[in-house]
Structure 1
Amino acid sequence: MMSIFRTKNSLLGIAFLLLVFLQFSCKSTYDLGQKRAHGMSDNKLYSLIQDSSLLYKTLFIKRFSAHYESKGKSQNVRGSIKILRDSIIMVQINAPTGILEVARMYITPDSVKMIDRLKKEYMESDFLYLSDKLNMDVDFYTLQSILTNEIFQLNELYEKRRPFVRNFKGKVIDDKYVFISDKASKVERKLRKDKYEKLYKFNYQRFEIDPSLMKITDVLVRLFGEERDMTLKYRDFINVEGQKFPSELVFKVKDSTQSLSCKLKYNKLVLNQDLKFPFKLSSKFKRIYPE
């Protein structure tokens, strides 16, 4: 479904991977499944999910750790993340044994910049570069929503950009609220009849929402024509300054050529602190270009 940066620098590849998957945390978790779902209108369900979204101007994840596996290899990564809502996402990657920064990624709605401090190299490109590496037609705001446990629409799933409730239908399934993309009934009929060859023109997106928290817990995206599947699982919801937020994210992606899984844990999340987003380069750094 997505590829890792094929620059010389593996650390920048790790930074990219983390940007796709990250989440944040503090301590003391909530239990899921404490309430049963009951019928309500799609508009009301959507409004309740929006109302439960994290309210913030800035997010500062002072520490995160991640473990991912791909093609029989695994790696652990640590670092920190800063987000200025609708403007900047910055990820700092630290050396495995300490707080020394070894790489940094700086993303805005228009650009992607990366620094490898060990190799003294940097890269600059537009946001389309990141979208291409994600192998999905996402913009900055969709990426931000994925990172912050907000509901989103993938651009490539729909011919027209319409309000969410016009592209999705709400249901109650197994005591959970579920939003399913509007062509899902056609997809599910063909799946039941094993007519996979007829699915190439369809895409499928599904959100599961826990009734007790009114938070998204699971996301499934299927792009049948391109044989790509993505799942997101948000777990260990915690209290962050009076708001509920997941401290763990499990991400799995599979396409016809590769599979990847990533488990993320977060610590020390701070809301609405005045933050700086420096991206200074020494004249000694060499610019490299996307492949």
Structure 2
Amino acid sequence: MKNCLLGGTFLLLLLLQFSCKSTYELGRKRAHWISDNRLYNQIVDSSLSYNTLWIKRFSAHYESNEKTQNVKGSIKILRDSIIMVQLNAPTGILEVARIYITPDSVKIIDRLKKEYLASDFFFLSEKLNMDVDFYTLQSILTNSIFQLRELYEKQRPFIRNFKGKAIDDKYVFISDKASKVERKLRKDKYEKLYKFNYQRFEIDPSLMKITDVLVRLFGEERDMVLKYRDFINLEGQKFPSELVFKVKDSVQSLSCKLKYNKLVLDQEIKFPFKVSSKFKRIYPQ
């Protein structure tokens, strides 16, 4: 009996050990020098391959100057075409709002107030306090590499705007004027940074996935931080199940921590968006 109990306990511990190890560990491999082109191509090759992505459940903790809120919901993405977010009541059952985003428009239904809004994408970038377009937002949600339009006067390929480095346990891509920015930061010459912008990606060598993004717009005193954590196996691909998004400037700040649950790739999904005739249309202020 004693041996049976010991054996059962050992088996239970093994099951617990393997069932709890659901995420990949970061920093398990040192970064060795590779060319910028090779680093960029490896990041692109390891990015999520999908036509549709369905995050069946997410939970989010949102904070801004005015309020703190916890929400639940789901996200559907049809690559390069539609992002639809459904927001539920705290119980997670009743839908209270639906957001339908395309490359040139944003539509929102508020079921509680019986109102709806239809506007261009600029409305959303204002709410996020960052000049992002549809494709940048899609990249942020799916852990893909991107470059912000407002950082560069001329749109060039990513590899011409960024320089790669190997720093201990991570690869880093830094925007091309970053060396000038870092020299001025070391000398505390903040007043001369107004015309500079700065974007930095940190990449884990063992996963070849982006883990951290920092954007600084010195002229506007604005920072954006992205953190990707808890990478899981999503149908044979590595994907973060946690995303932290923060934007801060001299006037306001906002942050949102998203936890993804029950993700499905390339399933045929629908994107219904129908506004009741009883709902009142409102306009951006």
Match 1:103 to one of 97, 103, 106? 97
Q: Which amino acid aligns with 1:119?
A: K
Q: Which amino acid aligns with 2:218?
A: F
The residue that corresponds to 1:246 in the other structure is 240
1:216 matched to 2:210? The reply is yes
2:78 pairs with one of 75, 81, 84? 84
CA 1:121–1:245: 2 relative to 1, 3 Å: same
| Structure 1 partner of 2:136 | 142
Q: Which residue of 1 aligns with 2:5?
A: none
Aligned letter for 2:226?
L
How many residues were matched structurally? 265
**Contact preservation (8 Å) 2:28, 2:169:** no
Q: What TM-score does the superposition give when structure 1 sets the normalisation length? A: 0.89
Gaps of 5+ in 1: 1-26
CA apart distance, 1:110: 1.1
1:97-142 CA-partner distances (Å, limit 9, x unpaired): 1411110000001110000111111000111222233333321111
% identical aligned pairs: 86
Residue number in structure 1 paired with 2:23: 29
Picking from 81, 106, 117, the partner of 2:111 is 117
**What is the CA-CA distance between 1:143 and the residue it aligns to?**
1.1
Equivalent of 2:154, from 152, 160, 165? 160
1:31-79 deviation line (CA, Å, top 9, x unaligned): 0011111001100000000000000000111100011222374211000
Amino acid aligned to 2:31: A
Name the CA distance, whole Å, in 2 between partners of 1:280 and 1:44.
46
Alignment check: 8 A CA contact 1:68 1:263 kept: yes
Partners of 1:282 and 1:137 lie apart in 2 by: 31
Residue 263 of structure 1 deviates from its aligned partner by: 1.6
Which residue is equivalent to 1:225? 219
Give the RMSD, CA atoms, in angstroms.
1.2
* Letter of the 1:112 counterpart: V
Confirm or deny that 1:48 pairs with 2:48.
no
Counterparts of 1:249 and 1:136, CA distance in 2: 17
Q: Please state if 1:271 is matched with 2:277.
A: no
Query: Cα deviations across residues 160-213 of structure 1 (Å, max 9, x unaligned)?
Result: 111101000000123210000000000000000000000000000000000000
Q: Give the Cα–Cα distance (whole angstroms) in 1 for the partners of residues 64 and 133 of structure 2.
A: 25
Could you say which residue in structure 1 is the equivalent of 2:56? 62
Task: State the distance in 2 between where 1:277 and 1:225 align.
Answer: 39
Work out the CA distance in 2 between the residues paired with 1:102 and 1:242.
Answer: 34
Report the CA distance shift for 1:129/1:69 in structure 2 as closer, same or farther (over 3 A). closer
Tell me, in whole angstroms, the C-alpha distance in 1 between the residues paired with 2:159 and 2:92.
Answer: 46
Higher relative contact order (CA 8 A, sep 6+): 1
TM-score, structure 2 as length reference: 0.90
Aligned to 1:261: 255
Distance 1:88 1:72, change over 3 A: closer
**Contact 1:136 1:156 survives alignment (8 Å):** no
Runs of 4+ in 1 over 6 A off after TM superposition: none
Q: Which runs of 5 or more structure 2 residues have no equivalent in the other structure?
A: 1-20
Matched residues in 1 for 2:257 and 2:136: separation? 21
Alpha-carbon distance in 2 for matches of 1:137, 1:185? 24
Which structure has the bigger radius of gyration?
Answer: 2
What is the CA–CA distance in structure 2 between the aligned matches of 1:91 and 1:210, rounded to whole Å?
29
